[in-house]
């Protein structure tokens, strides 16, 4: 492997490792390096489909985008997708291979090391620098002998490690010191520096703590990154959804997204946050008076639908639909809109069959084989939310095990290009009024023409003024993120660590 490496590990989950890697990928790209991200094992419900049809964690796709390259399955060879019943779907090199509980997975996970090593070696032969992301904490003493995401990977890749702590949740110095204390000496030696993330306030107040870390461990604190709001970059951990505050104001559409227990691919709706008032809601009383309700993707459609029934959310959504509130379902949310969901092979649940919301005349049957493909499509429905869109083209991707059959009604889209079919095929469903539609396509709202026209139609239906279109600029968001890190991180010190290696 010719590439040099650097690894970002954290004192815990949600400390900002993914954003660190994204920022470093963009900085190194700006410096002219051919750089790629890598995460050996990712546990996430947000996933993405590569151009060749493999499934990887969404964060690695974002990092690849920041690096200016196409994502590949080698960037995330092992993906765990939690689902109901305390199990996870295990995806290896882009393909789902089994459903496993934690005990079974950790009995066999070391068998995945050859695929991980082959992936990083392939990336190392193609790129100049690999920026590696760890998972959780390297100091989980109950998993140290079985882990395949942190120090074992740093050793495999000869990667010096930067340890990142999150100061926003408190105890950052204790978490860094505790991590260093718990690591065995041979692993501790791999850590070459520290960084602190999500800081708010006067940095001079941190000096005693920073001095302590540097003196105690003879390693530099490379920087203190400020808390970044509205960065415009997809977040992997759903923790950040709880931080979204939205109040209906300025005549903008008020959109409620149902925060399902196993919500997946919620970054589908990031483009809407710049244009509308968006709120994630978990209980019926939180809905208020929305202009649009969105049912998002989920890794446990049947169980999440049963949950909605139990808390009264299903009835509330039906009542709002009857009152004319538009409803959109994406992937698992699309399946929920139908009359029935059947899981004969127990692909996602122990429940074999359940009723849907009954808002679209269709049924879904889960199969064993998962569909993963990027697609090009055009809108075919032309009523309500989709009025005037019959020439609009969209780029998106599908990830689902369900096969949905429309019993009557208008498909919403026609897929014109896909690796799973040589012929065009109808996709999604649209109600007669056009106020309810569903689709398997993730990434729909990232298509500017589609989203802007849909919001114009929504405003017309709800009697609101037209939305001022300030479309998110992803390239600018990556550059802005890189600027924040350049201003607050010792970049020469980082390069020195990369050059010196382990």
Q: Report the candidate in 489, 494, 497 with the shortest Cα–Cα distance to residue 158.
A: 497
Of all helices (H) and strands (E), which one includes residue 309? helix 301-311
Which single residue is written with the structure tokens 């990083």? 120
pLDDT at 241: 54
pLDDT at 346: 87
> In which residue ranges of the chain is CATH 3.40.50.880 found?
246-471
E-strand spans in 299-356?
327-330, 340-342, 353-355
The DSSP letter of residue 239 is G
Q: Rounded mean pLDDT of 93-113?
A: 94
Q: Give bridge partners of residue 56 from the DSSP assignment.
A: 48
The CATH homologous superfamily of the domain defined by 4-231+477-500: P-loop containing nucleotide triphosphate hydrolases (3.40.50.300)
Which positions ≥6 away from 37 have C-beta within 8 Å?
21, 22, 25, 60, 63, 64, 67, 75, 130, 131, 132, 133
Q: Report the candidate in 112, 129, 142 with the shortest Cα–Cα distance to residue 6.
A: 129
Q: Are the C-beta atoms of 195 and 42 separated by less than 8 Å? A: no
Q: Tell me the range of 85-94, 236-245, 312-321, 349-358 where mean pLDDT is highest.
A: 312-321
Greater model confidence, 330 or 472:
330
Question: Model-level pTM?
Answer: 0.91
Which single residue is written with the structure tokens 């140290």? 144
What's the distance, CA 351 to chain centroid? 27
Quickly list DSSP for 418-431.
Answer: ETTBSS-EEE-EE-
**For residue 68, how many other CB atoms are within 10 A of its CB?**
14
Distance CA 320, CA 317 (A): 5
SS3 for 211? helix
- Mapped to the 3 state alphabet, what secondary structure does 114-138 carry? HHHHHHHHHHHHHCCEEEEECCCCC
The DSSP letter of residue 410 is B
pLDDT digits (tens, 9 = 90+) for 236-261: 655 555 555 444 457 799 999 999 99
**For residue 475, how many other CB atoms are within 10 A of its CB?**
11
pLDDT at 468: 81
Which positions ≥6 away from 298 have C-beta within 8 Å?
45, 260, 261, 262, 263, 264, 304, 331, 332, 333
pLDDT at 467: 85
Read off the pLDDT band of 409 (50, 70, 90): confident
Q: Rounded mean pLDDT of 209-234?
A: 91
User: Which two tokens mark 228?
Assistant: 């970044």
Angle, helices 17-30 vs 58-67, to 10°: value is 20
> In which residue ranges of the chain is CATH 3.40.50.300 found?
4-231+477-500
Q: Report the candidate in 333, 332, 348, 342 with the shortest Cα–Cα distance to residue 363.
A: 342
Q: Give bridge partners of residue 292 from the DSSP assignment.
A: 255
User: Which two tokens mark 488?
Assistant: 């607050």
Q: Rounded mean pLDDT of 172-177?
A: 96
Which positions ≥6 away from 108 have C-beta within 8 Å?
none
Out of 262, 307, 400, 442, pick the active-site residue: 442
442 a catalytic residue: yes
pLDDT > 70 fraction of the chain, expressed in percent and rounded: 97
Mean pLDDT (the chain) is 93
pLDDT at 470: 81
492, with CB counted inside 10 A (0-12, 13-18, 19+), is exposed
pLDDT digits (tens, 9 = 90+) for 272-294: 998 999 999 999 999 999 999 99
Which positions ≥6 away from 202 have C-beta within 8 Å?
none
First and final C-alpha spacing in the chain: 15
331 a catalytic residue: yes
pLDDT digits (tens, 9 = 90+) for 144-157: 999 999 999 999 99
Q: What is the CA radius of gyration of the chain?
A: 23
Q: Rounded mean pLDDT of 476-489?
A: 96
Distance CA 305, CA 313 (A): 9
Q: Are the C-beta atoms of 444 and 393 separated by less than 8 Å? A: no
pLDDT at 83: 86
Which single residue is written with the structure tokens 């890794």? 299
- Please tell us whether the domain made up of 246-471 is placed in CATH 3.40.50.880: yes
Read off the pLDDT band of 21 (50, 70, 90): very high
pLDDT at 237: 57
pLDDT at 165: 96
Distance CA 3, CA 34 (A): 10
Angle, helices 58-67 vs 474-488, to 10°: value is 80
pLDDT > 90 fraction of the chain, expressed in percent and rounded: 86
Out of 25, 256, 276, 331, pick the active-site residue: 331
pLDDT at 350: 85
Distance CA 421, CA 123 (A): 30
Q: Are the C-beta atoms of 22 and 116 separated by less than 8 Å? A: no
pLDDT at 236: 61
């Amino acid at each position: 492997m010719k590439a040099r490496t650097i690894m970002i590990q954290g004192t815990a989950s949600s400390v900002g490792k993914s954003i660190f890697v994204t920022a470093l990928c963009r900085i190194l790209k700006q410096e002219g390096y051919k750089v790629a991200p890598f995460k050996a094992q990712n546990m996430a419900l947000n996933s993405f489909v590569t151009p060749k049809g493999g499934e990887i964690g969404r964060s690695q796709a974002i990092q690849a985008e920041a690096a200016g390259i196409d994502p590949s399955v080698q960037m995330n060879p092992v993906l765990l997708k939690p689902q109901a019943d305390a199990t996870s779907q295990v995806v290896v090199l882009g393909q789902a291979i089994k459903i496993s509980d934690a005990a079974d997975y950790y009995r066999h996970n070391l068998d995945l090391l050859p695929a991980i090593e082959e992936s990083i070696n392939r990336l190392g032969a193609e790129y100049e620098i690999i920026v590696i992301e760890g998972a959780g904490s390297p100091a989980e003493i109950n998993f140290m002998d079985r882990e395949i995401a942190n120090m074992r990977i740093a050793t495999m890749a000869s990667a010096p490690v930067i340890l990142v702590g999150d100061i926003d949740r408190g105890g950052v110095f204790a978490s860094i010191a505790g991590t260093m204390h718990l690591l065995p000496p041979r692993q501790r030696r791999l850590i070459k520096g520290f960084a602190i993330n999500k800081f708010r306030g006067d940095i001079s107040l941190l000096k005693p703590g920073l001095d302590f870390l540097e003196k105690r461990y003879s390693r530099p604190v490379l920087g203190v990154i400020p808390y970044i709001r509205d960065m415009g970059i997809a977040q992997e951990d759903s923790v950040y959804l709880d931080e979204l505050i939205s109040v209906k104001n300025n005549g903008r559409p008020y959109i409620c997204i149902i925060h399902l227990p196993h919500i997946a691919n919620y970054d589908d709706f990031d483009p809407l946050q710049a244009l509308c008032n968006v709120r994630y809601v978990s209980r019926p009383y939180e809905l208020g008076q929305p202009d649009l309700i969105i049912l998002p993707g989920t890794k446990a459609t049947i169980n999440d639908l049963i949950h909605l029934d139990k808390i009264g959310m299903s009835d509330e959504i039906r009542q709002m639909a009857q009152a004319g509130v538009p409803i959109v379902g994406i992937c698992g949310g699309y399946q929920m809109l139908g009359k029935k969901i059947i899981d004969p092979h127990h692909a996602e649940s122990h429940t074999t069959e359940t009723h849907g919301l009954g808002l679209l005349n269709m049924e879904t049957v889960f199969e064993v084989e998962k569909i993963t493909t990027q697609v090009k499509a055009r809108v075919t429905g032309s009523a309500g939310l989709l009025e005037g869109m019959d020439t609009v083209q969209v780029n998106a991707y599908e990830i689902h095990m369900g096969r949905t059959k429309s019993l009557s009604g208008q498909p919403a889209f026609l897929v014109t290009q896909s690796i799973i079919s040589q012929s065009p095929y109808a996709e999604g469903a649209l109600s007669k009024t056009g106020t309810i539609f569903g689709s398997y396509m993730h990434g729909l709202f990232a298509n500017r023409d589609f989203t802007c026209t849909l919001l114009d139609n929504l405003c017309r239906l709800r009697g609101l003024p037209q939305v001022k279109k300030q479309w998110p600029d992803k390239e600018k968001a990556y550059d802005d993120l890189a600027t924040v890190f350049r201003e607050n991180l010792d970049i020469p010190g980082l390069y020195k660590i990369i050059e010196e290696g382990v």
